[in-house]
Amino acid sequence: MISYSIVIPVKDEAESIPTLYKEIKEVFDKLNRQYEIIFIDDGSTDKSSHIISTLQKTDRNINLVKFRANFGKSKALSAGFSETKGELIIIMDADLQDDPRDVLKLLTKIDDGYDLVSGWRKNRADSLTKRVSSYLFNRGTSFISGVKIHDFNCGLKAFKKEVADELFLHGELHRFIPVLAKKRKFKVTEIEVNNRPRKFGESKFGKLGIARGWKGMLDLLTAIFITDYLDKPAHFFGAIGLSFFSIGFLMDLYVSYIKLTTGTTQGRLPLLLAGVLFILLGIQLISTGLIAEMMSHYLSLRKKSSLR
């Protein structure tokens, strides 16, 4: 039986892979448990796949999933998860920024009863702009999601198979794995890890900017929505819809009152129109919620998610 599945997304990391493999082997051979290494080649244009295939010839614990093009880190992790046979999944970046020796620290936290342990790069070996934007991202995500950790996006994480089964990563959702897990009521914690500078190649997430910040906000909204409200979308749309409806209703009630008592609308036609607009918007949002509710109900009939 396999105990540990190490899942590694790879996009053009040929120079790093041999050292990474050596470091992983050093750590895991000592643990005396069966393990597998799953590399996902996310459309690399360098020799990454070739190097992994060569390693595979001498080590049967290596598995390679090869994408036909670059689909992003989230999809790569997701594809990796569906290949895993281990009870515990460890994810780490391929660029040697994460230190495989830290896995031992993560494992002690799992032994303490946590379902997911995330690395916390307290002393980050990245550029200033990256550290600043990362700081803002982490503080914002922690504030909005209510998950009290410092570093959401560390590439090094360990979690139980059950957690992976509940993570459906796409887009940029890999940044929110701790949020997704916590919202699914798994026990989540973090532990300080070593962070090393990138030796070879360059960061695939280097470009920063306002557009990126907005997208990050939308991604967080998605993360919260698909966890908090997936089961009860009508509550989300309904709450907003009902408030809109009530505001519109009060506006029009007021205009009707004036018309009935004074005989004219007293120039309050704009208010009447605004009221109509709010009522319509409200009804529309409530119906959207109900349709989402039907979809959610239909899906839950087909897929029984494990709550144990």
Contacts with Mg ion by CB under 5 A lie at: 93, 95, 97
Q: Which is nearer to Mg ion, 201 or 213 (CB)?
A: 201
Alpha helices in 229-268 (DSSP H): 233-262
Partners of residue 91 on adjacent β-strands: 7, 157
Q: Residue 72: how many CA atoms within 13 Å on its side-chain side?
A: 9
- Give kind and range of the element (H or E) at residue 179: helix 177-183
| CA–CA dist 302, 296 (Å, integer) | 10
Query: Residue 184, interface with ligand UDP (CB under 6 A)?
Result: no
Q: Does 95 bind ligand UDP (CB under 6 A)?
A: yes
Binds ligand UDP (CB under 6 A): choice among 47, 66, 150, 204: 204
Beta bridge partners of 118: 157, 190
> Considering the complex, what minimum distance in angstroms separates the CB of residue 141 from ligand UDP?
15
Q: Which two tokens stand for residue 194?
A: 């070593």
For the segment 5-24, give every residue that binds ligand UDP (CB under 6 A): 9-11, 13
Query: Quick check: 98 binds ligand UDP (CB under 6 A)?
Result: no
Residue 204: contacted member of ligand UDP, Mg ion, none (CB under 5 to 8 Å, by partner type): ligand UDP
Which listed residue (135, 143, 205, 225) binds ligand UDP by CB under 6 A?
A: 205
Query: Closest separation between CB of residue 69 and ligand UDP, Å?
Result: 10
Strand pairing report for 35-41 and 4-10: parallel
- For residue 212, the one-letter residue type is R
**Distance of closest approach, residue 9 Cβ to ligand UDP, in angstroms:** 3
Residue 154 interacts with ligand UDP (CB under 6 A): yes or no: no
Closer residue to ligand UDP in complex, CB, 155/289: 155
DSSP 57-113: HH-TTEEEEE-SS---HHHHHHHHHHH--SSEEEE--SSS-B-GGGHHHHHHHHHTT
Q: How far is the CB of 4 from ligand UDP (least distance, A)?
A: 18
User: Is 70 one of the binding residues for ligand UDP (CB under 6 A)?
Assistant: yes
> Of the two residues 3 and 171, which places its CB atom closer to ligand UDP in the complex?
171
CA distance 184 to 199: 36
Work out the angle at residue 49's Cα, subtended by the Cα atoms of residues 99 and 30, and round it to the nearest 5 degrees. 35
63 lies in the binding site for ligand UDP (CB under 6 A): no
Residue 205 binding partner per list Mg ion, ligand UDP, none, with a CB distance cut-off of 5 to 8 Å that depends on partner kind: ligand UDP
- What does the binding site for ligand UDP look like in residue numbers (CB under 6 A)? 9-11, 13, 42, 70, 72-73, 76, 93-95, 97, 155, 203-205
